[in-house]
Structure 1
Amino acid sequence: MNPIDPLSFQRITKAHGTFEGATYFDAEESLVHDVFPDRIVLQTNYLDHTSYAVHLAEGEVRVHKTRLDNYQRGHKAQVIDDEMDEEDWQELDSLWQRLSRDLDTQAQGPGLDVADTLADLFHCLFDEVHAQALVENLPAPTAQWDWAWTQVASALTAANQLAEFDWKAWSSCGIHAVNALAPLRQSGIEIPAPERDTVDAVNRASDWERAVLQYFNARLDAHDLKLLALGTHFDEYQAFACLPMNGLGLVDALEIMGRLGIVHRY
């Protein structure tokens, strides 16, 4: 019934565990799990804040479940131990499958050569000389799950093509941050701050994040530029990159990003 393979657990904690708890983000359920050298704590979206602390004891995987005794009591609720039931094992299986898929690279076999794939991405995003310089200065890949994104973010930041701001501040800080990016400055583009009725219309949109990006891209498309939300996942505070369409170059770049575990939206 226990879905967790002891060897996989050991590989993950050895490669990724830190004493303060390394963060792993489950993008499918918007959950944050913590990886320690000796245990992994997986959270759930259950109202009673159920969590599963997984550890090894006598060569076997053990799971310690905790939850709130009565979540309706709010801050007065107490955290208690509880027994695992069938629904818990199913939930743990689902959580573990996603975490181990991303973090247990040895179990995935030879698969993707991250450095070579990253080199291909740089050649899609930058001119030949710039891309080659980035490739030659790439550090050795590590087992850190967000290593590829860290390299991409660093390269885009150095080229002044990456901005970070809170989605909710798109009409103020966001406008300022995007206007300061190199592609806009080089093309003489300045995106105007929206009027109040425009802000209200965007904020009321059913697909609000897409509406935010469309506000920017409606003014960038004519210049063959695109603003994208990028990262290992989408969050309230987001990284945004301004990239040239470059024919099919951007399409190719986005396909490669997907292979590297980098998500995008535009």
Structure 2
Amino acid sequence: MPEQIPAISREDFNWLTQTYGKETGYSHIDTKESVVHEIFMDKVLIGTAFLNCASYELSFGNGLHIRKNRLDDYKLHDKAVLIADDMTEEDEDELELRWSTLIHELKMLDNLHSLSNAREPLEQLFLDIFPEEDAEELISKLPEIVVPDVTIIWSEVYAALSATGNVVEFEWQEFADNGILALNELFPLQVAGVELKAPDAATFQAIMAEEDFAKGILDFVNEQLEAYELKIVAVGTSLDEYQSFACFNMQDFRLANAMLKMEELCLICFF
């Protein structure tokens, strides 16, 4: 019997499978959840970050058909067996969220690839994230043609952030020691005379136990910056174990504008 999930339309399914589908599967990594989805010519396999490794195979016949698989007991590790299972309300919510994110990200990527030159939106981004004089100098160093490829665009942004002392990298797990030291090296914090305080052991343990520990970490540091109109953000092509971080100015909607530009360029600006 066909499933009823209004957010998953035949139109979007056809666009996805016809644009990206391959016989052997086209892999797309969710930029926020670090889970992989596989797009075939006649079906889509949606992955999750659930401990039981639940996945949903979507296809259309007379209507939407969903086949859920999960591990019988994830605690068995390598000995766990993949089994079919019925969809729950939690599964439907997760599937709808992951599907909506997948469609949005790939349509934004489609829009980016339709550009002949990504220089103009990159220039606009630089004007939002750097002081005007710095932005103009950095823009002058951009190549005349910026290929609308996410990796190339990120390399230009990273180079500009590095040139202004506004990017550091560390693993999320290192936040309480090496991470906080690295963040305090960011030039905007030094100009503002701010020194971020590290969490104590109990607080750090509580943050890392949260379902979205990445947001918990950024909330912890950004609460200390509220009076300065600065925001620590995770930046890059995706959220990963080893992450790049920068400090952006919130004045005059600059952070909000930067987020929109980064989304247009298929980069993340997460906080």
> TM-score surpassing 0.5?
yes
Partner residue of 1:264?
270
Point out where structure 2 has 5 or more consecutive residues left out of the alignment: 4-8
- CA distance in 1: counterparts of 2:112 and 2:248, whole angstroms: 33
Which residues of 2 match residues 148-227 of structure 1 at below 5 A?
A: 149=154, 151-183=156-188, 187=191, 191=195, 194=198, 199-200=200-201, 202-203=203-204, 204=206, 208-209=216-217, 210-215=219-224, 217=225, 221=228, 226-227=231-232
Aligned counterpart for 2:76 among listed residues 67, 74, 77: 74
**1:18-56 per-position Cα deviation (integer Å, ceiling 9, x unaligned):** 98x6442163xx351244676754213556433245689
Mapped pair 1:95 → 2:98: yes
Q: TM-score, normalised by structure 1?
A: 0.63
Partner residue of 2:36?
33
SS in 2 for 1:116: helix
Higher relative contact order (CA 8 A, sep 6+): 2
Aligned counterpart for 2:125 among listed residues 114, 121, 124: 121
Mapped pair 1:141 → 2:148: yes
1:264 alignment partner AA: F
Indicate how the Cα distance of structure 1 residues 116 and 255 shifts in structure 2: closer, same or farther if over 3 A, else same. Answer: same
Shift of 1:244: 4.8
Shift of 1:134: 4.9
SS in 2 for 1:240: strand
2:54 alignment partner AA: T
Indicate how the Cα distance of structure 1 residues 162 and 55 shifts in structure 2: closer, same or farther if over 3 A, else same. Answer: farther
Mapped pair 1:10 → 2:18: yes
Indicate how the Cα distance of structure 1 residues 86 and 109 shifts in structure 2: closer, same or farther if over 3 A, else same. Answer: farther
Shift of 1:152: 2.9
User: Once the two structures are aligned, what percentage of the paired residues are identical?
Assistant: 26
Partner residue of 2:246?
241
- CA distance in 2: counterparts of 1:152 and 1:79, whole angstroms: 42
1:42 alignment partner AA: I
**1:196-224 per-position Cα deviation (integer Å, ceiling 9, x unaligned):** xx524753578842123344x37x93xx7
- CA distance in 1: counterparts of 2:216 and 2:87, whole angstroms: 38
Indicate how the Cα distance of structure 1 residues 165 and 90 shifts in structure 2: closer, same or farther if over 3 A, else same. Answer: closer
Q: TM-score, normalised by structure 2?
A: 0.62
SS in 1 for 2:147: coil
- CA distance in 1: counterparts of 2:140 and 2:265, whole angstroms: 20
